[in-house]
Structure 1
Amino acid sequence: MSNIFKHYLLLITILVFCAGCVNKRSSDNIYVRNENTLEKQPNLIFYLADDQDVYDYGCYGNEKVNTAAVDRLAKEGMLFTNAFTAQAICAPSRSQLFTGKYPLKNGCFANHTATRPNIKSITAQMKNLGYEVVLAGKSHVKPESVYQWDREWEPVPKKDVPRDYIPLDSIGAYFKTSKKPFCMFITSKYPHGKYFDVDNPNADDIKFYPFNEHKKNDNAYVKSKTGYYRSIEEDNTQIEGVLKLVDKYLDDNTLFIYSADHGVSGKFTVKDIGLKVPFVARWPKVIKPGTTSNQLIHYTDVLPTLMNIAGGKSIEDMDGNSFLPLLQGNDVEVNKYVYGVRTNQNILNSEVFPSRMIRDKRYKYIRNFNSLEVVEQNLTGKPNVDYFIKRGANTHKDEPHEELYDLQNDPFEQNNLAKNAELQGIKEQLKKDLFSWMKSQGDILDESLGNMPIITPKGKKGFKLDQDTPRRKIPDSIKNTLKKGDYIVIEHW
């Protein structure tokens, strides 16, 4: 055998070996492929606060609240100004993060309810890409068959504070000893009420906005709000603790995302004060510090993005899109529209008043399907059913059938332009696209009047319309009068 041929075989062997190394999927040497980089898989950390308005952060313009840890992340990474959830309520909001699907499609569109049992959630998707998937803190999602965390740590009690703490000791021990790439969701119980009890509350210590400035002289509101600010500060302390552990045990190839599941001031609504969320990302190896993105992103985009970063692709029936290009500095459109869902049933103030929303960067259209304007057309002729339909419309008597807002000039949605003659073309296009989306989601509502479904959970779980809740009383004559055929049973609840 000639020396040239020997050298040729040696070269081929080296090339084959190197190719095998690049494709190797071991516990400590897994690679991400995308258009711009070839990089070892990063660790992924997502910190989720609970019930905090996007307007209550220093980095989003509120100088009266202490969010130093989040402000630091914004300086060291990227701040998103147009990030949204589809539902301003805990379980439906979180289900989107974990499935890449809107609430109607994943099945969790009322609070305290379950994701459809046939869905492959983040636990299955990221495990398939070589990651260990961890939940540290509040869960609020089910069933266990869909969410099979590799490790899960409950919140831990702490003295002299109103809520349990995130499990910092377990998080630190895991960071120190982890041997493979991980995807960890750190889910805080703060600042969700019960809030701190603040002595001598002062309205001057609160930043007011058009949606709450009328409450400056409401002593109970001011006391609650100052307690809420104090709870935000307490969560800031927790975040600082996590960041110290990240800096101590993990390298620069760690993506850290901070968000809050929805705004408390707009809870249960489809207004931006409920659906617009804080969203900050730090990734020293990729994200340019101190940058801002104004592109529309959504909670359904999070799982496709994490899968993209891990070297995979999102599943075809997911609703979200990867925003990895934004993190890499490419200002591209991720979504033309984002959507919102309102389901007032199965909460303490349960009423029949569903809403849907569609929004682009500038304009927003809302359809309130059981407003007083149309309630007569929604009646069924069954007195016991119609009682609840009328009750829902009257409870929300100030909310019209249609709403249209120019968010560029009216970011707090104070001026309804639904009847503005010059904007009818925009309204009709948004309406058309909203109904098309609803159909694709398998919505229980459609554009026709006279379709006002009452929903109820299977079995005894949940808050049924014809029964009292701690916040809502039903007349004895109407209690327990809804029978099979009067409502839709949501089987997987």
Structure 2
Amino acid sequence: MRKNNLIHFVFGYIALILTSCSAQKKNEQANVKNTQPNIIFYLADDQDVYDYGCYGNEKVKTPAVDRIAREGILFENAFTAQAICAPSRSQLFTGKYPLKNGCFANHSKVKPDIVSITKQLRKLGYEVVLAGKSHVSPDEVFDWDKEWHAVERPVGPREYIPIDSIQSYFKKAKKPFCMLVTSYYPHAEYFNVEGATAQDIKFYPFNESKKNNPAFIKDKAGYYRSIAEDNKQLDQVLTAADNYLGDNTLVIYSADHGVSGKFTVKDVGLKVPLVARWPKVIKPGTKSKQLIHYTDVLPTFMEIAGGKATPDMDGTSFLPILQGTETAIHQYVYGVRTNQNILNSEVFPSRMIRDSRYKYIRNFNSVEVVEQNLTNKPHVDFFIRRGANAFKNEPFEELYDLQNDPFEQHNLINKPELKEIKERLTIDLFSWMKAQGDFLNEQPGTMPLIKGKGKAGFRLDEDTPRRKIPDAIKNTLKEDDYRIIKHW
């Protein structure tokens, strides 16, 4: 009996030790997971970086955004590569520039083999949620763990974020999550505001000529009102985060691109607001002048989650900046312009490279070089010439000193003293384009007409609500006249 008792005691003791070790291991795993912060990324739609209180516009009311900046960090030089909705968002969710990820025209898809934010963060233990506007595809690439569409309300010209679902999720969350709250505001159509005057609007060099334009002032006042409405939504998200989530929650606010520079590669289109709050990590009231880019957002999230960017990503994590180290992320950022596949479709592609001071732009179908782009096919050349003439005031090359001319009003391309700067930027731009698989190159030549396979996308030779085509040229383009983007 004594021997049996001893055996039972030994086995019981061993079992107790194993159970204790297993419990300890589970607790350690739980503690590791608990160190992963929740991530909330709030994205507004079509709002200039210049239209925020924290970015210097005292005429517009943005208290919720200003609060994040006050409680965290404000980035002064954050950029998207394309001033248009789908390509801008696709960069955020892939870590890759538009030409590499495949979505370089609006209403187009990324390549089907892209591994997006959903799979990248899911394998690091996160649930990835979209709340609001998507405008990215295909669904197989952007396979959200949960997705809630925007909701209509009796007031307001646009749909609203699904705040009830967001609040409920915050209350019940059991694992780390990345939630993308994507607003439809302040994108047009705007609120109707009566009695607005020029004194209600802040003007800049790119729009000060419209101070005496009543229609512009009324439109801008409605835009300001829509901005205020979006801030109410953001405030609800912040309140819910404060009520239901702990300090280990990173909140980032941005807007996908500027509305005043939409479809361009000017800073008014590509420069974006980006403010972040992360208690006990980000020092309140800080600013960063470092160049960061939308392709950096996913690598940053991956590093925060305990992983790292994949080698094929274009972006670099800016987590060190959030943690208080003002370290350089990029020497250059780049921009892409594609005016095809929209309602005002024209053949006028552009590329941009920018460092902390200088910007170089090339407009590949400028009137200066349009004759070199022709194909000897009259029905094709009609659209190439039409595209050049639609932007006849935009030269083949542009160079700006952003330190002295932040609104890009004075083209310095012919200044002899800036020749070396132009050459440096040009060489790096075309090296980047080649690495991206760009179909444009340094020498003027055939200008591609682009579209999706079959009936996908807008055809150049058909009318749209915003563009009329002469009857004689309608439906003259054949499939082999286009450069077909098969995955669109």
Q: TM-score, normalised by structure 2?
A: 0.95
Whole-angstrom distance in 2 between the partners of 1:317 and 1:57: 35
Determine which of 304, 310, 313 is the counterpart of 2:299.
304
1:485 equivalent in structure 2: 480
Where do 1:108-187 residues align within 5 Å?
108-187=103-182
Task: List, as ranges, runs of 4+ consecutive aligned residues in structure 1 with deviation greater than 4 Å.
Answer: 12-23
Determine which of 50, 68, 76 is the counterpart of 2:45.
50
Secondary structure at the residue paired with 2:479?
A: coil
Cα deviation 1:181-233 (Å, max 9, x = unaligned): 00000000000000000011211100000000000111111110000000000
1:98 equivalent in structure 2: 93
1:30 equivalent in structure 2: 32
Is 1:68 the counterpart of 2:63? The answer is yes
Q: Is the 8 A contact 2:129 2:146 kept in 1?
A: yes
Is 1:367 the counterpart of 2:365? The answer is no
Query: Which amino acid is 1:251 matched to?
Result: G
Q: Is the 8 A contact 1:136 1:166 kept in 2?
A: yes
2:419 equivalent in structure 1: 424
Is 1:275 the counterpart of 2:270? The answer is yes
Aligned CA distance change for structure 1 residues 418 and 23 (closer, same or farther; 3 Å):
farther
2:241 equivalent in structure 1: 246
Is 1:458 the counterpart of 2:460? The answer is no
Cα deviation 1:245-267 (Å, max 9, x = unaligned): 01100010000000000000000
Query: Which amino acid is 1:439 matched to?
Result: K
Alpha-carbon shift at residue 17 of structure 1 (Å): 7.2
Secondary structure at the residue paired with 1:81?
A: strand
2:8 equivalent in structure 1: none
Secondary structure at the residue paired with 1:329?
A: coil
Secondary structure at the residue paired with 1:422?
A: helix
Query: Which amino acid is 2:401 matched to?
Result: D
Secondary structure at the residue paired with 2:335?
A: strand
Where do 1:192-341 residues align within 5 Å?
192-341=187-336
2:466 equivalent in structure 1: 471
Task: Give the % identical residues.
Answer: 71
Aligned CA distance change for structure 1 residues 15 and 434 (closer, same or farther; 3 Å):
farther
Q: Is the 8 A contact 1:57 1:65 kept in 2?
A: yes
Aligned CA distance change for structure 1 residues 23 and 490 (closer, same or farther; 3 Å):
farther
Cα deviation 1:290-314 (Å, max 9, x = unaligned): 0000000000000000000000011
Secondary structure at the residue paired with 2:179?
A: strand
Query: Which amino acid is 2:244 matched to?
Result: Y
Query: Which amino acid is 1:330 matched to?
Result: T
Q: Is the 8 A contact 1:30 1:130 kept in 2?
A: no
Alpha-carbon shift at residue 445 of structure 1 (Å): 0.6
Aligned CA distance change for structure 1 residues 238 and 451 (closer, same or farther; 3 Å):
same
Query: Which amino acid is 1:30 matched to?
Result: V
Alpha-carbon shift at residue 285 of structure 1 (Å): 2.0
For structure 2, list consecutive stretches of 5 or more residues without a partner in the other structure: 1-13
Cα deviation 1:60-112 (Å, max 9, x = unaligned): 00000000000010000000000000000000000000000000000000000
Query: Which amino acid is 2:87 matched to?
Result: P
Whole-angstrom distance in 1 between the partners of 2:253 and 2:405: 27
Secondary structure at the residue paired with 2:439?
A: coil
Q: Is the 8 A contact 1:445 1:451 kept in 2?
A: no
Alpha-carbon shift at residue 19 of structure 1 (Å): 9.0
Alpha-carbon shift at residue 18 of structure 1 (Å): 10
Q: Larger C-alpha radius of gyration, 1 or 2?
A: 2
Alpha-carbon shift at residue 20 of structure 1 (Å): 4.4
Aligned CA distance change for structure 1 residues 476 and 23 (closer, same or farther; 3 Å):
farther
Alpha-carbon shift at residue 484 of structure 1 (Å): 2.9
Whole-angstrom distance in 2 between the partners of 1:450 and 1:130: 49
1:6 equivalent in structure 2: none
Alpha-carbon shift at residue 350 of structure 1 (Å): 0.3
Q: Is the 8 A contact 2:375 2:446 kept in 1?
A: no
Q: Is the 8 A contact 2:257 2:272 kept in 1?
A: yes
Alpha-carbon shift at residue 448 of structure 1 (Å): 1.2
Where do 1:381-392 residues align within 5 Å?
381-392=376-387
Determine which of 40, 47, 52 is the counterpart of 2:35.
40
* Superposition RMSD in Å: 1.7
Q: TM-score, normalised by structure 1?
A: 0.94
Aligned CA distance change for structure 1 residues 74 and 477 (closer, same or farther; 3 Å):
same
2:10 equivalent in structure 1: none
2:5 equivalent in structure 1: none
Whole-angstrom distance in 2 between the partners of 1:13 and 1:153: 44
Determine which of 394, 397, 401 is the counterpart of 2:396.
401
Query: Which amino acid is 2:100 matched to?
Result: K
